[in-house]
Structure 1
Amino acid sequence: MQPTHRSTEMDDTIDAVRADRELKTTHRAMWALGDYPAVATDVIADLGPALVRASRVRPGDRVLDVAAGSGNAAIPAALSGASVVAGDLTPELFDAGRRRAAELGAEVEWREADAEAMPFADNEFDTVMSCVGVMFAPHHQESADELVRVCRPGGTIGLLSWTPEGFIGQMFATMKPYAPPPPPGAQPPPLWGREDHVRALFGHRVTDVVATRRTVRIDQFRTPEDFRDYFKTRYGPTIAVYRNIADDPARVAELDHELADLARRFDHGTGSTVMNWEYLLLTARKW
């Protein structure tokens, strides 16, 4: 007996759900590798406060930090007097965030949440923001739809994303040949660093879009090799790429050279490594 059209559609749906679940499990495991909270605190601590300021978070606002990690933006938002929920697919990052929040006297609610299917009500938040977080969700349109859905009419959506041309965008381009192929439908994270891409994702559902390219100064590393070795042991995506080629010493050596060379090309310091990492800061108001 030939399968009916309906049963074929059902099988396709089941397969799609299973593939999505496996993909999210892989993403969760990747970000749990290494020590992303250390990266957020030691290297890019300035980014969260910059996003909070640009989003004009005010005391009493209900704020959602999407793909919050250990709270790089959620904690400064809470310190400004807002009521903040930090959501992330990888709750393993929350313990470090809770400790940091307690040290600073910030009250944050931590919730496991997939950026592509968030467990929050429509129009629930005054401000919905993400600091180099939602850009790593694989399906950009689904994530953008969720950002709009949970933001109240007239509320603010604020995003800070690495640009394709900036250092981190170029780092991902450097690592791509050494990484496993992306799953079907997954889009490159640095696309969120292109204003036209983000505008297309939101469409006519937002207004008052303000987008600026800025840089964050990175001066914590003595040499380009120090940067490379730090990210090899602490940054989940880099760790995952090295694991993919771990049984090929020649490929490992090639990637070692390419990452250090990339940092060297961006280095404008004298005596120690200083880089400016470019990002797109975009805010919009929901209709």
Structure 2
Amino acid sequence: MTVQSGTAQTGVGQGGAGEADRALKARHRDIWGLGDYPAVVAEIIPELGAVLVEASGVKAGDRVLDVAAGTGNAAIPAALAGASVVASDLTPNLLATGQALAEQRGVTIDWQEADAEALPYADGEFDVVLSCVGVMFAPHHRASAGELLRVCRPGGKIGLLNWAPEGFIGQMFAAMKPYLPPSPPGAQPAPLWGSEEHVRGLLGEQVIDVVARRQTVTVDTFANPDAFRDFFKANYGPTVAAYRGLAGDLDRVAALDRDLAQLAARHDQGGDANRIVMQWEYLLCTARKHNGTPR
């Protein structure tokens, strides 16, 4: 196999730009290693990967790549469908957890540490390229989109499921933004991947048969807004990082506590005295890569 590195690596190269990019990726790796992201997936969004796999038409014999796979929320259902699956992610401990989960489900997956913006795979190597609330967190969107397209074979499928900017998770990141340090130059907000216009712009004329639809997942795990906040404060890497950055500033910690609990309260649809019930919105997008030269 001839392996080619990505051709759209924003900020990667010699000198200061390369060093800055490596530092940014190291920070991302550290953030997703904080807390207990496997618990977030298992307790709140376990079904989303299967939704993406079904929409993408994964079938037995397909060669599938799950980009920013985390613990395999999409990779495992793809393998259960009979596909040959590679699951790649920047954070090694998530891959280790995913491997254990796959073994429990009785499927074999190739788990590999890899940067979504510089995938170590050959051009056109995969029949289906997936990402379930994963690639959206790579900081340089055009670079990662270019890699999704590059490693997908002509005529192959790309399937993406990403949180919508107007939805609950998009609003959660907006609520946390005042408490976080400024984003590095060139880094784009993750929830943009939940905008159909943004995704169509990233994939451009290299794809056809684009199907994009907004859907929601019901989240009824938490007894009350404070329980939601405390769970994310302890387990969700970006939220854990936000609180760590406020260490010692009790007023700002209290303010973030309030803002996150109020967000959950606003999204509670009511009707259940024992728990809050929320609908978290996402964009489900599938597309087919051109067989030949784009129009």
- Above 0.5 in TM-score? yes
Alignment correspondent of 2:253: 252
- Scaled by the length of structure 1, the TM-score of the pair is 0.95
Which secondary structure does the structure 2 equivalent of 1:215 belong to? strand
Q: Supply the AA of the counterpart residue of 1:146.
A: E
TM-score (norm 2): 0.93
Further displaced range: 165-174 or 38-47: 38-47
Deviation larger for 99-108 or 174-183: 99-108
SS of the residue aligned with 1:115? coil
SS in 2 for 1:220: coil
Cα-to-partner distance string for 1:11-58 (whole Å, 9 max, x where unaligned): x94111000000000000000001111111111001000000000000
Q: Distance in 1 between matches of 2:189 and 2:213?
A: 20
Secondary structure at 1:265 match in 2: helix
SS for the counterpart of 1:67 is coil
Which residues in structure 2 correspond to 1:114-129 (within 5 Å)?
114-129=115-130
Equivalent pair of 2:95/2:113 in contact (CA under 8 Å): no
Match of 1:284 among 267, 282, 287: 287
Provide the secondary structure at the position in 1 that maps to 2:130. strand
Structure 2 unmatched ranges of 5 or more:
1-12, 291-295
Cα deviation per residue 1:70-111 (whole Å; 9 max; x = unaligned)? 100000100010000000011111121111111111111100
1:196-235 → structure 2 map (5 Å cutoff)? 196-235=197-236
Structure 1 vs Structure 2 CA RMSD: 0.8
1:274 counterpart (255, 277, 280): 277
What amino acid sits opposite 1:160 in the alignment? L
Work out the CA distance in 1 between the residues paired with 2:63 and 2:276.
40
Aligned twin of 2:22: 21
Give the equivalent residue in structure 2 for 1:159: 160
SS in 2 for 1:176: helix
Task: Name the structure 2 match of 1:83.
Answer: 84
Counterparts in 2 of 1:112-191, with a 5 A limit?
112-191=113-192
* In 2, Cα distance between equivalents of 1:37 and 1:94: 10
| Whole-angstrom distance in 2 between the partners of 1:108 and 1:276 | 31
Amino acid of the residue matched to residue 245 of structure 1? L
Residue ranges of structure 1 left out of the alignment (5+ in a row): 1-11
Match of 1:9 in 2: none
Distance in 2, matches of 1:190 and 1:66, equals 17
Of stretches 244-253 and 168-177 in structure 1, the one that deviates more from structure 2 is 244-253
Name the one with the larger helix percent.
Answer: 1
The 5 A counterparts of 1:36-55 are 36-55=37-56
State the match for 1:7 in structure 2.
none
For residues 261 and 84 of structure 1, what CA distance do their matches in structure 2 show?
Answer: 40
CA distance in 1: counterparts of 2:146 and 2:100, whole angstroms: 32
Q: Alpha-carbon deviations, 1:119-142, whole Å to 9, x = none?
A: 011000000010000000000000
- Aligned pair 1:106/2:89, yes or no? no
Number of matched pairs:
276
State the shift of 1:226 in Å.
0.4
Q: For 1:238, give the aligned amino acid.
A: T
Given the alignment of the two structures, is residue 62 of structure 1 paired with residue 63 of structure 2, yes or no?
yes
Question: In structure 2, what is the Cα distance between the partners aligned to 1:209 and 1:120?
Answer: 24
